[in-house]
Amino acid sequence: MSGTDCTIEPLGESALLLRFGSIIDRALNDRVHAAASALRTTALPGVEDIAPAYASLLLRFDPRRWPDTEVLVGAVRKALARTEVAAGDAEPADTAVVELPVRYGGEHGPDLAEVAALTSLTQGEVIARHVASDYRVAMLGFAPGFAYLLGLDAALAVPRLSSPRLRVPAGSVAIGGAQTGVYPSVLPGGWRLIGRTPLRLFDPAHAPPARLAPGLRVRLRAIDAATYAALSEHAA
């Protein structure tokens, strides 16, 4: 399957949307990140932002540099044609690994017991499976710095809450359906909270502001209360 095997459609006068599919799938997301990497390497003039999603890629550009959108579409296809992306074989766009320490259960993960009951696992088994998974940041969305992680153990997939919380604490690690994610700030949310990281995930004054970026690999590490307290004090 070639990097050119996608549809490209204009979004207004200053953006293109590249669609590679319509499902949440790791191999498909690999293709999105490989395409993003190819376009960043090509560095087309006037392209201001490249934002990956699960199955699509948003390209923002300066319309003064590309008054004829079809010319840009051709340039994008030419850039992608240089990268053959085989489904399931694509390399991550960024092989860097970020480790997130997580305190599971209790006040930090109030839904852990319910997740265990829903999955017919013990709480310890839920934690063991959750930290054993190989995650990658598929995309950022919903709120600045909110990381959607692909790689959740299928046995841990549980439905979202019937009534979302109005305030989810910053750093909360949660499961929603077949996805897992990390809340970067205090937000409303309906995912089930199983733990929390003491690390600060989003800081507008920092460059870049988000600790997690699309394409990064993520490993989760279970920590005890003392370690959580010590890391929280350092993060503050």
Q: Are 88 and 67 in contact (CB under 8 A)?
A: no
Specify the pLDDT at position 60: 96
Residue 92 lies in a domain: no
Is the predicted pLDDT of residue 4 greater than 60, yes or no? Answer: no
Q: Which of 48, 18, 42 is nearest to 31 (CA)?
A: 18
Gap between the Cα atoms of 143 and 138, Å rounded: 14
Take residue 161 and report the two structure tokens written for it. Answer: 């809450």
CATH of the domain at 104: 2.40.100.10
Residue 88 lies in a domain: no
CATH of the domain at 55: 3.30.1360.40
Average pLDDT over residues 116-135: 97
What is the domain range of residue 36? Answer: 7-81
Residue 86 lies in a domain: no
Amino acid at 57: L
Is the predicted pLDDT of residue 90 greater than 70, yes or no? Answer: no
- Residue 180, CB half-sphere, CA atoms under 13 Å: how many? 30
Q: Which of 60, 63, 57 is nearest to 83 (CA)?
A: 57
Residue 116 lies in a domain: yes
Q: What is the pLDDT of residues 17-62, one digit of tens each?
A: 999 998 888 889 989 999 998 999 999 999 999 999 999 999 999 9
Is the predicted pLDDT of residue 83 greater than 80, yes or no? Answer: no
Residue 83 CB neighbours (<10 A): 18
102 and 166 co-located in one domain: yes
Max distance between CA atoms of the chain, in angstroms, equals 59
Distances (CA, A) of 35 to 51, 68, 117, 157: 11, 22, 40, 29
140 and 50 co-located in one domain: no
Residue 1 lies in a domain: no
Specify the pLDDT at position 120: 98
Average pLDDT over residues 182-201: 95
210 and 163 co-located in one domain: yes
214 and 125 co-located in one domain: yes
Instruction: Domain count for the chain, please give it.
Output: 2
pLDDT > 90: percent of the chain: 74
Is the predicted pLDDT of residue 96 greater than 60, yes or no? Answer: yes
Residue 87 lies in a domain: no
Is the predicted pLDDT of residue 77 greater than 80, yes or no? Answer: yes
CA angle 94, 98, 104 (to 5 degrees): 140
Residue 154, SS3 per DSSP: helix
Specify the pLDDT at position 26: 87
- Helix, strand, coil % (nearest 5) of the chain? 30, 30, 40
Residue 185 lies in a domain: yes
Gap between the Cα atoms of 125 and 110, Å rounded: 16
Specify the pLDDT at position 47: 95
Residue 110 lies in a domain: yes
Specify the pLDDT at position 88: 42
Last residue of a domain, one of 47, 81, 115: 81
Take residue 197 and report the two structure tokens written for it. Answer: 């990281």
> Which band of pLDDT confidence, cut at 50, 70 and 90, is reported for residue 203?
confident
The three-state DSSP-derived secondary structure of 163-232 is: CCEEEECCCEEEEEECEEEECCCCEEECCEEEEECCCCCECCCCCCCECCCCCCEEEEEECCHHHHHHHH
Q: Which of 164, 107, 97, 167 is nearest to 136 (CA)?
A: 97
Average pLDDT over residues 83-109: 73
Q: What is the pLDDT of residues 132-160, one digit of tens each?
A: 998 999 999 888 889 999 999 999 999 99
What's the predicted TM-score (pTM) here?
A: 0.83
